[in-house]
Amino acid sequence: PCIMEALNCDPDDILNIQAALNKTTEISFKLTNYFIKTADFIAYYTHNSSSEFNVIPKEGILDQSGRDGTQFIVTYSPIEYGKVKIANLIIETDEVQ
C-alpha cells in the first residue's frame, strides 16, 4: 500500500497592503505561466482568508513564460480597526498551483 499526504507549500511571494478603515486600496502584479504556453487559470482565496480581500480577474488566460504577463489586481477594504488580516491567494492552472 501507498500512503500519501498533501501538505501546504510555502508561498511564492508575500504582498503587504494597507488601507484606511472603510477605504479600498489596491495593488497589482503580473504573472506568467510556468511553461512556454498560455494556460487557463482560476484565482481564489483559501477558506481561512479574510473576506476583506478581493482579486480581479478570478479566471482567464495566464500569459506564457517569457511574455509580459497577465495582470492581477488585489484589493483590500478593512472593516475593523487595528486587526491584521491575512489572505492566501491561489492562482491555479491545470499544471501548477
Average per-residue pLDDT in the chain? 89
Global pTM reads: 0.83
How does 2-29 read in b/e, with b if 16+ C-beta sit within 10 Å?
Answer: eeeeeeeeeeeeeeeeeeeeeeeeeeee
Q: How far apart are CA 13 and CA 52, in angstroms?
A: 19
Task: List all residues 6 or more positions away from 69 whose beta carbon is below 8 Å from its beta carbon.
Answer: 30, 31, 32, 63
Q: What is the pLDDT of residue 95?
A: 78
Q: How far apart are CA 18 and CA 60, in angstroms?
A: 27
pLDDT average, residue stretch 68-83: 92
Beta pairing class for 39-45 and 89-92: antiparallel
pLDDT digit string, tens, across residues 41-66: 999 999 999 999 999 999 999 999 88
Of the candidates 88, 27, 96, the residue with the CA atom closest to the CA atom of residue 65: 96
Q: What is the pLDDT of residue 94?
A: 86
